[in-house]
């Protein structure tokens, strides 16, 4: 009897690391580094699909929709990690991007054996978190076969949600009905089957790309600075002053004064300085244009001419 799982790309042996156990530490590191260098180019080959997934997320974010990551093992942990970094980075609600792992929060630190084997649990998760047609559910399964993930995607699709599937398996081996399939076949791992390595790196890259681009389109960034910031401690107050000063070319002291008048909101301070509007008017225009500083400034300038 032949093992079906043994045919998966992520389970193949890497010919470049056959002598890993007898290699020196330096040689082991060189082997890992050499293999890692292929990842960015493999991700680049899938930019079209990554773009389509990001468009779905951006559309969801234009309303009340969420981006929901579902995974198991390393894939699940990376989804939870990306979701957890969104609120502090972009001042977004924790509800906006959420990550779930088979086995629950316990599985973040300790392996929960068998948690990924039941598609019905993935379906139950989708029901429990009340997925709707406004949401995007992104399943992450580097092997391409994780039952928990496939079950969640199947149920999400039944509920009318947009669905994205990320895998490091070759797309020709994937048979699942989703809106967007992102396949980044990075090849066999240095340690056979250890998808925490190349597959994990590829996953982290793609999730960062999607969530960051979607947040940028929601006005969370001006130029390349994190401007959706309220200065609530000493470190953030200093960062806020430097951001306002950098973007508007005002002095550090002037930036401090602007932040006092704006109740320590960087976006409001920026709009005030760039359009010479009051704090109240600046807030009004930011609300009108979904927090987009550039649009708020442009429209304020038009209204004052």
- Which tokens in the block code for residue 177? 């009905």
Residues of the chain with pLDDT > 70: what percent?
96
Instruction: Report how far residue 210's alpha carbon sits from residue 262's, in angstroms, rounded to the nearest whole number.
Output: 31
Q: Residue 137 pLDDT more than 50? A: yes
Q: Residue 244 pLDDT more than 80? A: yes
pLDDT value, residue 290? 87
Residues 6+ apart with CB under 8 A from 167: 140, 141, 142, 143, 144, 174, 181, 182, 183, 184
DSSP 82-143: HHHHHHHHH---TTTEEEEETT-THHHHS--TTGGG-HHHHHHHHHHTT--TT-EEEEE-TT
Residue of higher predicted confidence among 6 and 78:
78
2, 90, 270 from 255: Cα distances, Å:
68, 21, 9
Residue 226 burial (10 A CB sphere; 0-12, 13-18, 19+): middle
Give me the residue spans of the domains in the chain: 6-219, 223-303
Q: Look at strands 162-167 and 136-140 and give their pairing.
A: parallel
pLDDT value, residue 89? 87
pLDDT value, residue 5? 60
The tens digit of pLDDT for each residue in 22-75 reads 999 999 999 999 999 999 999 999 999 999 999 999 999 999 999 999 999 999
Using pLDDT thresholds of 50, 70 and 90, give the confidence band for residue 303. confident
Q: Are 147 and 118 in contact (CB under 8 A)?
A: yes
- Which tokens in the block code for residue 251? 């002095």
pLDDT value, residue 4? 57
Secondary structure (3-state) at 184: coil
CA dihedral over 11, 141, 209, 89, signed as positive or negative? negative
Once rounded to an integer, what is the mean pLDDT over residues 291-297? 92
pLDDT value, residue 3? 52
Which residue in this structure is represented by tokens 């989804």? 79
Q: Residue 208 pLDDT more than 70? A: yes
Using pLDDT thresholds of 50, 70 and 90, give the confidence band for residue 163. very high
Which pTM value belongs to this model? 0.89
Once rounded to an integer, what is the mean pLDDT over residues 136-149? 95
Once rounded to an integer, what is the mean pLDDT over residues 1-9? 57
- Is it true that domain 6-219 has CATH number 3.40.50.10490? yes
Residue 191 burial (10 A CB sphere; 0-12, 13-18, 19+): middle
Q: Are 202 and 186 in contact (CB under 8 A)?
A: yes
- Which tokens in the block code for residue 6? 């043994």
Give the CATH architecture of domain 223-303. Answer: Orthogonal Bundle (1.10)
Secondary structure element (H or E) that encloses residue 61, with its range: helix 47-62
Instruction: Report how far residue 175's alpha carbon sits from residue 144's, in angstroms, rounded to the nearest whole number.
Output: 9
Q: Residue 230 pLDDT more than 80? A: no
Q: Residue 199 pLDDT more than 80? A: yes
Note the helical H segments in 138-189.
147-158
- Which tokens in the block code for residue 159? 């509920």
**Can you state the percent helix, strand and coil of the chain, rounding each to 5?**
55, 10, 30
User: So which residues are the catalytic ones?
Assistant: 85, 116
Instruction: Report how far residue 195's alpha carbon sits from residue 190's, in angstroms, rounded to the nearest whole number.
Output: 9
pLDDT value, residue 1? 44
Once rounded to an integer, what is the mean pLDDT over residues 177-197? 91
What is the residue-averaged pLDDT of the chain?
92
């Amino acid at each position: 009897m032949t093992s079906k799982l043994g045919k998966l790309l992520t389970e193949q042996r890497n010919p470049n690391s056959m002598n890993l156990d007898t290699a020196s530490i330096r040689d082991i590191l060189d082997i890992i580094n050499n293999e890692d260098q292929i990842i960015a180019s493999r991700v680049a080959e899938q930019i079209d699909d990554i773009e389509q997934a990001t468009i779905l997320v951006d559309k969801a974010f234009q309303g009340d929709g969420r981006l929901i990551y579902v995974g198991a093992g390393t894939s699940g942990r990376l989804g939870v990690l990306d979701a957890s970094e969104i609120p502090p980075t972009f001042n977004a609600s924790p509800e906006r991007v959420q990550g779930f792992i088979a086995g629950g929060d316990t599985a973040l630190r300790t392996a929960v054996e068998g948690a990924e084997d039941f598609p019905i649990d993935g379906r139950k998760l989708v029901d429990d978190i009340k997925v709707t047609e406004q949401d995007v559910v992104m399943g992450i399964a580097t092997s391409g076969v994780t039952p928990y993930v496939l079950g969640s995607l199947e149920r999400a699709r039944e509920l009318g949600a947009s669905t994205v599937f990320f895998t490091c398996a070759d797309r020709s081996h994937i048979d699942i009905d989703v809106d967007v399939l992102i396949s980044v076949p990075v090849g066999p791992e240095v340690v056979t089957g250890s998808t925490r390595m190349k597959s994990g790196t590829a996953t982290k890259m793609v999730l960062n790309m999607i969530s960051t681009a979607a947040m940028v389109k929601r006005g969370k960034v001006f130029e390349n600075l994190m401007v959706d910031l309220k200065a609530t401690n000493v470190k953030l107050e200093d960062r806020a002053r430097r951001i306002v000063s950098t973007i508007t070319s005002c002095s550090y002291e002037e930036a401090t004064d602007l932040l006092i008048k704006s109740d320590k909101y960087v976006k409001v301070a920026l709009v005030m300085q760039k359009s010479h509007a009051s704090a109240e008017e600046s807030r009004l225009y930011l609300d009108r244009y979904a927090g987009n500083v550039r649009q708020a400034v442009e429209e304020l300038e038009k209204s004052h001419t």
